[in-house]
Each structure stands twice: as C-alpha cells, then as structure tokens.
Structure 1
Amino acid sequence: MSTRPAPASAWSVDDHRDRVEQLLRPLAWRAVDPAPMAEALGRRLAEDVRAPVELPVFRNSAMDGYALRAESVPTAPATLPLAGVIAAGDRGDRPLPPGAAVKIMTGAPIPPGADCVVPVEETSTDGVTVTIGQRCAAGDFIREPGSDVRAGQLLVPAGTLVQPRHIAALAAVGLTTLPVFRRVRAAVLTTGDELVPAGTPLAPGRIYDSNGIALAAALAANGAEVVSVEHSTDDPAVFREMLSAATKSADVVFTSGGVSKGDFEVVKDVLATLGGEFGSVAMQPGGPQGVSVIDGVPVLSFPGNPVSTLVSFEVFARPILRELAGLSAIPKYTVPLRDPVQSPAGRRQFLRGRLESGAVALVSGPGSHLIAAMAQADVLIDIPPAATELAAGSNVEVREL
C-alpha cells in the first residue's frame, strides 16, 4: 500500500464531488419526451398527469353474483325469478324487472333499477330462480363511478419515477403516452494504446479494455442512456476527433485513462489546452481527476486503472446521476470493521468490502488494479483522511455498490 501523503494542493473529495454536481445539475432541465407507456417505465414524470376520465367509468359489480333491489329481499332466504345474465363487456342497459334478480359477473355494468349485488357464494339457483341466502343493503358490492378517481383529479404527480403500478393506473384511464424527462445521454470514451477489445488475442504488453463496458453498465444501472462506447488510441488527433463525435450525441462524456503525470496522458494533454481542469484528489484509489466542458458538454475524466475508474464513478458521478434520474439515494451504513485497516495520511481511502454478520470485511488490498477482487465486494468502505490506523471493531461508513 502506498503510504505517500496527499499533495498539499490536492482537492478534497467533497470539493471535487461538488464540482461534478455543478456541471451535471443543469441536466435536470433536459428535454421532455412524450414517451409511449412501455418506454416510460423507470423514467421521471416531467409534468403532473391528471385523469382524463373517472374510474370506474360506470357502475359495475365488484363480485360474481346476482344484482337486485335490496327491498326485494325483506327477509332471507328469499327466492326471486331470474331475468337474465350480464357479462363483463355487456351494455347492461335493460332495466331490472321489479322483484327479480339478474346474474352478473365481476366488472359487468349494474342494470338500471338494481342497487346491490349478492355474492354467488350466498346463493343457490335452479337456472330459473335464485335463492338469496342473506339480505343485502343498497350499495353492497357495487363500484360507483368516480369512486377510484374523478376526471381531472391528480393521478400521478410530476417528479414521480414511473413504476408498473403507475402504468397500470395511467393505462386504465386511457393514456398511451407520458410526459417524461429524456434520460441523461452519456458517452464513454476509453483511452490507451495498451487496450484491446475483449475477444481478441492479447499481444505482449496489451490488456483487455474493461473500463468501457464497466462504465456503460454503471451508467445504465443508474438511470442514464448510454449512446456510445468507444476507444481511442493515445494519438491526440484521434482522441479529439472521437471526443467531438461523442459530444454531438451526449449530454455528458466519461473518459478513462490519460489523466495522470506520465508521458502519454492524451486526455489531460488535449483537454487542458481547451480549458479543462486537472488535478489530484486526496483519495485512494482515483487520485487523478479532470473536468472539462467541450462543445458545451460536461466531460468527466477518470483515471484508467479499472478500480480507480469504478470508484471514481461511485463517488463522484453516481449520486448526481441517480438524483437526475429520480432514483433513490445510495444507501449508507455505519458498521464495525472486521479487520484492522491502515490508510495513508491525508487521503480519503475507499476500500472494497463485504458485509458479513453485521460487520464489514475487506475483500482485497487497496491496489487500483484489483478488479477481480472488487467483484466480490458489495460495499465501499469510506476511511476518513485523518485516520491512518483503525482497529478491528472501529465503526466506519460504508456505501452500497
């Protein structure tokens, strides 16, 4: 583990998160889409939606049974003549003869003259008459128009994250489209001559590009629409051209790699000349970070080590993206450490851990390359910058991955 303290000029984690949020928060006012109902699931309503009709639309039966006038059964049991059958979907506009009953199905319209329904379980019939085993009162098992919602009444308020239960209610009043915010459109651009796509042979000195697909998955899981995932070489002209293409289709661009202090830092070299701000955040992993605005589009630049990339996304981008998508905040807990921890002075360390029996256990060391070990983690352990040693049993904050 590196024991180097943070540079005196390093940004704090909170300051850099604020910087990222200020860049992305204007995306809350992105365009509104009239999305088809099936495509609105998981998106946030941009406007109040009011019921164009009332529900129920007409008086209907809440049970399979018999519709009749309550006064026709002054005492029970009583036997009444049957005047027909009304199924769901029938018009049900024939008046009920006095002193008779009509067989009725759940959801079928109540005929004029009937004022209650007796459930089928409380009756017996020979097909010509029906014997009513108990009395009913006016209104029993009848769904009145507007008893669920009135026409013009607020059905689902603006800002709601559309779930299946909302779609059920909205479809029931006949709506086919919903005014939802367009998802935040995100582009991913990885860099590095050493990276090759998965599925191709590895030449000496080459590694597979995991950051592109990992960032795309993280974005999609947190409410964004991924519009492109591309890889650039370390050639500045190639990177600038690919970045320009990404900004044409995206609301925000994420880059990985090329932001440190080496000789081939293509992202930093190109974007710093275009007004980008690059520096070191007092954290481990994920120290080198950058923010830019290119062609009017925010660009967040993460370091290229796989764990650094994912931790950077979790700490800086995930909270604001979830807020923009209308998703719930990331759960955080305070739990005791199962193992002792050492941490570099002045750096806020984010270790990977797993919750076990009310405590959190480390699943790997602090190395920013330990991506396979990160797959075993379910939380990030947040070690404050002032803590250089924590004993087993010390309470720490963790956030769900």
Structure 2
Amino acid sequence: MNLKELRTALQERREDYSASDAKLNRRINQSYLDICSRRKWGWLRREFTANTYASVSTSGITLSSGSRAIEWKAASPPATVLGKRIVVGGSFYRVVDLDSTGTNGVLDRPFIGTTAAGLTGTIVYDEIALPLGAQTVVEAVLFTGTNSFPNSLEAIKPASMNHRDKGTFGQPTKYSAMEKEPIFRPRTPIGTLTPASVGVAGLTPGSVYKYWYTFVDKQTGAESALSDSTSVTLSSTHDGVTLPAISARKDLLLRLYRSTAGGSIPFLLSDMQSESISTPMAVTDTEPDEYLGARGPSSGSSMFLTLYPAPNSHYQIQMVYQMEASSLDDDNDRPLFDATFSSVLLDGAEALMLTAEDEQRRASSATAKFEAGIQRMISSDSLSFQDRVLIGR
C-alpha cells in the first residue's frame, strides 16, 4: 500500500473522513518510523560498492610558518583537495576551505614548519562517504579487481584510528565508520528557467516544475544538501525547460534534480551528465517524469568510512550497511517492509489518533494489536539474526 492508500484505509477504520491529509500523514509516519526503530531489520539492510583513489603528489606549494594559508604557485592542486588531508613538511593538515581560483586554501591549523615555496605535498584519499541514511556498517570487504577474491577488512573503533600512522599507504586492511561535517551546500539557487517548445513529448504542458542542485565530492562520493528550489510554469505549448549555466563550487562537482509535474519532491535528472567538474552546465530538460532517477538527499552526507592504510591504488570496497528509514512524503511512497504488514502500521496510526482524542480504552486495544503485530514482524524477519541477512525486498 502506498501513502495515499494507507490514508484511505485509516479513514475507513475510523469511519471519519474529517481529518486532513497532513494529519493522517503525520500519524502514519509516526507509526512507520516507530516500527523501523524497533530493531535492526533485515529489510533495512543494503549493499553498497565504492571505489578508492590513490593518494596523489602535488607540487608548487607555498606555506608560511604560523599561518593557515596554503597556496599553489607552480600548478593548480589536483581534484579534489577541499576537505582532504595533506601531508607536507613532515606533518599532516586538512584543507578546510578553497577560494574561487582553486589555488588558495586554508588549513585546519597553522603550519608549524619553516616558511618555504615550491614544497611538495601528498593529498590523501582515505575516506568514502556512506549512502545517506546509513547507520552502521555490518560487513565490508575489499576487491583488488572485478574478478578477484575478496580480502577481509577489519572493523576498528574510530578512536583506534587516531593511533594509526598518518603516512602509511598501501592496500587497506582496516576501516572505521565515523561522522564528519557535510560538504558545503549550494547557497545560490538555479537562475531563471525558460520554458521551451521542443516537440519530443517530454515534460507535461501547463505544469509547474521545480529544480534543485547539489555539490558532489568526486573522491569520497559525498553529496551536499539540496540548494533552494527554482520553479517554472509551462504553458500549454511548452514541453521542455532550458536551464541557465550552473557552476559548481571550485573543487566540487554538480548533480541536478527536478520534481515531477506539479510535485515538490526532488528526483535525479537521469538523462543528463550529472557531474561536471568546475564547468558550467547549460542544458534543455525534456526528460519525462517516468525516467527521473532516485530521490534527492534530505541532508548532506555525514557518515564516512575511513580506510587504513590510505589506498595506493584503485580498489573496490563492497559493504553491507544498516540504513535508517525516511518518512513517507509522496502519495506513491511505500513502506520498505512487506505489504502484508500494512495492517500493523495502521494499528499504530489508529492508536496514536485514539490517544490524541482521549479515547484511552480503544487506544489501549489498538496499541496491543500494534505491539503484537511488531512481534510477528520480528519472527518473520529472521529466525537467526546473526546468520540471515536480507538486503532489500
């Protein structure tokens, strides 16, 4: 059952059609997220594979003793340095900001070496952004090639990573998951959108569309939160939208999102180049709603996998992770668990509504049914939780 069907079913249970859709959605989502929080469900496990990148050497660096400023004189820094660890002058720092030229940055703390120009440093790529909503990593393995035998990765505590050698490079053998600050969010929305008549039966004439974009870190895969939206209204003769040039913040890539006709939820535009490094994007969008991609992020990436030693080559890290559920927002959104348990969700939503209306006797009965339903879901989810792993449904 999707969200719209769940609302109708809840109204029929109550034989009360006076509640607003917003109120019904709120109770349904309270019940749904309550179920999702009860345990590490098998249907909340997902599989994810990421590439690693070798650390790179960069030259022409100018640093001054006691200053946080870093400048690349002889050559531009490699992509990507923003937010990355750099080993220079025998010490390690992190580049926390980069200006619009891409050659002047700021370190996380003052340089303690001797003032010098023409220094050589190493940009360390030892982090992988986990998908949004990831809570914990269940298991991770490393492949040195697409057909190679998997190599085990040992999970260690984040605090133990502080004891590692900062200058060790090679094939990773350990990993740790930790929270980090999200990358910068776009502060400027997309400019003026121009309706277009393309004649390819793409967008729906007479509809309103919204557009967003995000920044993406090429090396880690981290994605920022969405920009503010920009809207455009098509006339009865328009079936496309021409977007203005969009420039990514220096050192980051672009990803573009659009709503469905008349909608307000962002989805990835699947027909266009989703990443364009430091180059303005100017495109005409004619993609039908049916071919939009995944839903856009509700927040920026903040959970990262740190590898040790820092990778010295391309490797593939494959992992199973535990995700957290997000609320049902669109009428077509469906719970992640099997549809046979929709009645359990409705029991919980009904109990919440009865409690709010101070019908304690009926609320207690609905709550008991809700709790019993969750126990049925637990027994169905896994007979041996440690041995049985479900990845999606």
TM bin, normalised by shorter chain, reads: under 0.3
TM-score, reference length from structure 1 = 0.26
| Larger radius of gyration between Structure 1 and Structure 2 | 1
